[in-house]
Chains A and B, each alone.
Chain A
Amino acid sequence: MTEPPQDVGRWGTARPGRRDVLRGAAVVGAFLAVDLGALLYANKWIGPARLTPRTFLDGFAKVFGRQPGFRKNHAKGVAVTGYFDSNGNGSTLSKAAVFATGRTPVIGRFSLAGGNPHAADASSTARGLGLVFGFPGREQWRMATLNLPVFLDNSPQGFYDRLIASAAVPGTGKPDPTAMARFLAAHPETARATAIVKQHPPTPGFADSVYSGLNAFYFVNESGARAPVRWSLSPLQQALPPSSGPNALFDALVRQLRAGPLRWRFVLTVGAASDPTHDATLPWPADRRSVDAGVLTIDSIKTDAPGNARDINFDPLVLPAGIEPSDDPLLSARSAVYAASYRRRAGETGSPPAVQVDKVEL
């Protein structure tokens, strides 16, 4: 690549002519200029302003402060492990090994949305459950689920604008209502999704929340049939009431897991050809066929620490054969921003996480 273009493959000329040297220099110069221009454009130093993963990370830092060492979103959380017992029903939809009858190990992380790892638990904060099935095998399935019936945004720009509009105003500690009103006027899809979310108030705790994958994916079975699918985890227990203090929800989860495992039914919902796959703010009709694929059991909980779920990027595009991405633009965006968040926090030295499992009293 760096071989001088003036080299025409012939050696032996004692001294190249002045014209050859100039022409060679011009070719090399032009090549380097194209390289430099391409580099500047790729790094967005020139050209139109575009959203980059860095824009999101900087947005989180702006809204929640710099939080070195932590996930830039869902910063507060706790690592869990367990397993998924498949009943084989899912294999009619997907050839993924996880849906064959049998058990797959699972690593997960319960979290609260937001970039402040020391924020006090609030029941209105979205709860997340990141999961990876079959780690660290070749046929892994990673996902990040939320206790919401639909997602609030249908585009990366919408997500970013909502993040910025939700920034707490110094003094009140609450978002600027006019900024949020302006955002909702510009993003009617978020206004509609918020109305749906309000019809599903949060449950008392992590243990009794319904966690949904929200984005649609295509499931492909052995015979090659493709079907749009969304999934959710339906709790098989009540939650202990939240305790008091800044970790009220997490402490209750820790206590409950000490007493015994927690279980969720893994429900696959099969969309019709007309159902939207590109927009997770739009619910699918309630009468869509659902398949009970088995039971997820969580039986161990640990403080976020090196080597456990803390160090897993719940990238929604790490999929086994038999599950394929849909046309939802948020999938690529999440994959990109999660990777950037991972790269950034991996290079930072953090402080101890707020939820210390061993320090939760009985």
Chain B
Amino acid sequence: MTAAPEPGQYTALTRVLHWLTAALVFCALFIGFVMVNSVGDYSTLIMMHRTLGVTILVVVLVRLVNRLAHRAPPLPSTVGALERKIVVLSEVSLYALLLLQPLIGWAMVSAAGGPVVVFGSLRLPRITVRRAVVLAAAAGSFGRRVCTDSRNRRAHFRRSAAHLDVARPDDRKDDIPVGP
């Protein structure tokens, strides 16, 4: 991890986080499909699915900070202007979806009215969909601040991260409070 990456290469930490996310997302997806078709293993699988979702959320937050703190290798010269836009859009979408998907799952379990239990017995607070979006936006704007503080920021990503910054101070006022 400490070795400086060769030019044109992502850092080792970035690559580890990327493939860790990939493995976690694939497992969560597959377990999700098996889970909804299971009878005897349903309770075990749904716990694993929720636990993976929360783990993905944490990994993606770490990843977001890491991504904004490190310069990504420049795109090859053969990549055109439109393709560059698509690359940026797909990366921003990837981060937005990776943040939103676990949060929406969390909000869905919360909306069912029951406790949100992960890792076997850890009880999480309940969140609303609105709060999920606010949390994702907060993560985005936190990332942006890290980005601003970082020498390695890239202008195009800063612009893109601004799209995520949909949180407004008055968003919190009418947010439905979580249960007692």
Contacts and interface: CB of A to CB of B under 8 A. Distances in A.
A138 B123 contact: yes
B36 interface: yes
B40 A332 contact: yes
Query: DSSP class of A's interface residues: helix, strand, loop or mixed?
Result: loop
Contact of A1 (B8, B26, B180): B26
Given A1-B21, A11-B75, A336 B42 contact: yes
B10 interface: yes
Contacts of A312: 113
Contact of A13 (B15, B76, B125): B76
B30 A51 contact: no
B73 A43 contact: no
A10 interface: yes
Interface stretch (A172-180, A184-192, A225-233, A315-323): A315-323
Contacts of A350: none
Contacts of B46: 335
Contact of A54 (B18, B37, B40, B126): B37
Interface string B8-33: 11100001001001100110001001
Interface in A1-48: 1, 3, 9-15, 35, 38-39, 42-44
A113 B6 CA distance: 68
Interface string A307-332: 00000110101101100010001011
A138 B10 CA distance: 43
A353 interface: no
A333 interface: yes
Contact of A42 (B6, B34, B39, B125): B34
Contacts of A13: 76
Contacts, number: 102
B21 A52 contact: no
Interface residues of A, number: 46
B93 to A, nearest CB: 11
A140 interface: yes
Contacts of B73: 9, 11
Contacts of B169: none
A42 B37 contact: yes
A139 interface: yes
B102 to A, nearest CB: 15
A318 B112 CA distance: 11
Interface string B155-179: 0000000000000000000000001
Contacts of A64: none
Nearest to A7: B10
A38 B41 CA distance: 17
Most buried by A among B10, B21, B116, B180: B180
A128 interface: no
A6 B46 CA distance: 34
A137 interface: yes
Given A9-B9, A42-B30, A138-B123, A332 B41 contact: yes
A53 interface: yes
Contact of A333 (B10, B40, B44, B121): B40
Given A136-B113, A138-B123, A317 B43 contact: yes
Contacts of A329: 40
A255 B152 CA distance: 74
A156 interface: yes
A138 B39 contact: no
A135 interface: yes
Contacts of A317: 43
Ranked 3 nearest A-B pairs via Cβ: A336-B42, A42-B33, A332-B43
Interface of B: 6, 8-10, 15, 18, 21-22, 25-26, 30, 33-34, 36-44, 46, 73-78, 112-116, 121, 123, 125-126, 179-180
Given A14-B76, A318-B115, 19 more contacts: A1-B25, A9-B10, A11-B73, A12-B76, A39-B30, A39-B33, A44-B37, A50-B37, A50-B39, A51-B39, A52-B38, A52-B39, A137-B179, A140-B113, A318-B114, A332-B41, A332-B42, A333-B39, A335-B43
